[in-house]
Structure 1
Amino acid sequence: MKLVLAKSIGFIINLLVYVSPKRAAFLAIRLFSKPRKGKHTEEATDFLNTAFQEEVFLKDRSIMTYRWPGKGETILLVHGWESNAFRWKSLIDSLKLKNFNIVAIDAPAHGKSTDKSFHIIDYAEYIHLVSRKFKTQTIISHSFGGLATICFQYKYRLPELKKIVLLGAPSNLKDVMKRYTKLMSYNSKVIKAINAFYLNQYGHLPEYYNVAKFTQDLNSSGLIIHDLTDPIVPYQDALDYKRHFTNAKVISTKNLDHSLKSREVEEHILEFVTNQIIIFS
């Protein structure tokens, strides 16, 4: 969303909140949770069709799962905002060579999954269902997928989940919302209405989801990879995790942007999940 357009829409919602706070909150949340990208390209479809595909249902909604069977431990791949399971293609190819049992998902409103909106707390519930279904031992997550992963594990504490990889993950929902409301120039009444939505929908305000603190008593070991110049999620978030996730290693990269797609990152991930040094030729 271009800055001028965002400010214009924010101005309209700022006026609407004086007439109907609930309607203003609905529109603000809808804008925040409706991805503009994330559907499959032809290349993505061809690749994902090499996997066993199965829907996992949460009430009347579903997400699509993709599975490449292997004899090793189960690894679940969790993507972030405006992406889909195809983002992991290169890593999937590497994990297949190690004979891992690989599962990837399309988040709500992304890829082949249903629903028209994406909410992090709902995403956490789907990750929980998929993790239980496939008896996941390791989760590799990117961006909002990392935040949702920690939310789910903090709530459900699955004992079989031994390792968690966080790539460019936000450390808390409050700052995510703060960056969004600043972008849109929402006034205090709109922000108050948004908070009321979260409290009504999920029983907590956004500030409750300080997920870096959620990690401090998790039994899982962690690998946190974050780029020093990440333009989407500040490097400060990685430092937040470092303070609380005592059983995790933090790796800083340079000039890899928010996507963190590189051989260097794959090498670190493979070393972590295989417990051995990996050197790409």
Structure 2
Amino acid sequence: MIQIITKLLGQSINILGLIAPRKSAYLALRLFSTPQKGRLSESQHKFMSSAKQKSLKVNDLVAMTYHWPGSKDTVLLLHGWESNAARWKLFIKLLRSHDYDIVAIDGPAHGQSSGKRFNALLYADFIKTVTETFRPKIIIGHSVGGMAAVFCLHENNHLKVDKLVLLGSPAHFVGVLERYVDLMGYSNRVHRTIASEIEKKYGHGPEYFSAAEFAQDLNCNTLIIHDKDDAIIPYSDALLYSSNFKNSKLISTEDMGHSLNNKTVHASIIEFMLS
């Protein structure tokens, strides 16, 4: 049923694109950037209340941060699409057992952060402000959280981190957009108009926003973990990252899916952090 509704919505935007191309692109981008879930549940609120919570002003938005102080290096945790900082609950408990200084954030329009729209560039702005405030030595990002971290570090070379971990992260925006277009069944006309509107708004077309290419400019040691059967972000994106980072290690998993939120992955991350 959801697939049928999705395709019907896509076809409606295709029809609109025949008479009002820019309006169709506006609606398509609005759908693309509006999360349908990701706010904190009651049970998640309870866990997050164990942290020191601090809101930070980011342009006209507010980023919510969660801080568990520790004596070791500061670690910044970045969730993905339609998620929030509570997705790290199990990993946070493990990090606390090692006495790391932990910071997690809610992305734009997620968790307790403000906003109604989300994209990797808005997220990168959040990461910039949080990184300037807490000065993490290690950044760990799941899915688009990892991509946004690369965007941020590329655009702000005054921000230095020692280690970066990417979990199932997309390597380029072109692929993300194409998968969305395929999901909705948009026409080539609508696809082209979306790309044109992105260029008008951000000064660059979708092809510019390649985290894999940006990675060539980063000097941090990087761990890339990606499942070969990831149904959300293709494994080929991990290979792109691996071939572009100067100092990286790729761990390929099987039958773990996109989430990569389990003890095996957590152990691999801790081993990398301690190395």
Which TM-score bucket, shorter chain as reference? over 0.9
**Displacement, 1:117?**
1.0
Partner of 1:20: 20
1:31-70 aligned at under 5 Å gives the runs 31-70=31-70
**Displacement, 1:30?**
1.1
| Runs of 4 or more above 6 Å deviation | none
1:76-118 per-residue CA deviation (whole Å, 9 max, x = no partner) reads 0000001000000111111112221110001111111111111
CA distance in 1, matches of 2:237, 2:2: 25
1:273 is aligned with what amino acid? M
CA distance in 1, matches of 2:240, 2:140: 19
TM-score, normalising length: structure 1 = 0.95
For the residue of structure 2 that corresponds to 1:18, the secondary structure is: helix
**Displacement, 1:197?**
2.2
Partner of 1:84: 84
For the residue of structure 2 that corresponds to 1:231, the secondary structure is: coil
Give the root-mean-square deviation of aligned CA atoms: 1.2
8 Å contact from structure 2 (residues 127, 152) kept in 1:
yes
Gaps of 5+ in 1: 276-281
1:267 is aligned with what amino acid? A
Partner of 2:144: 144
Partner of 2:113: 113
CA distance in 2, matches of 1:180, 1:33: 11
Partner of 1:244: 244
User: Percent of pairs identical after alignment?
Assistant: 43
1:103-137 per-residue CA deviation (whole Å, 9 max, x = no partner) reads 00011111111111111111111111111111111
CA distance in 1, matches of 2:66, 2:135: 15
**Displacement, 1:246?**
2.9
2:166 is aligned with what amino acid? L
Partner of 1:279: none
CA distance in 1, matches of 2:199, 2:159: 29
For the residue of structure 1 that corresponds to 2:125, the secondary structure is: helix
1:139 is aligned with what amino acid? I
CA distance in 2, matches of 1:85, 1:111: 7
**Displacement, 1:2?**
2.2
2:71 is aligned with what amino acid? K
1:124 is aligned with what amino acid? A
1:111-260 aligned at under 5 Å gives the runs 111-260=111-260
Gaps of 5+ in 2: none
For the residue of structure 2 that corresponds to 1:150, the secondary structure is: helix
CA distance in 1, matches of 2:266, 2:88: 10
Q: How many residue pairs are counted as aligned between the two chains? A: 275
CA distance in 2, matches of 1:224, 1:270: 13
**Displacement, 1:21?**
2.1
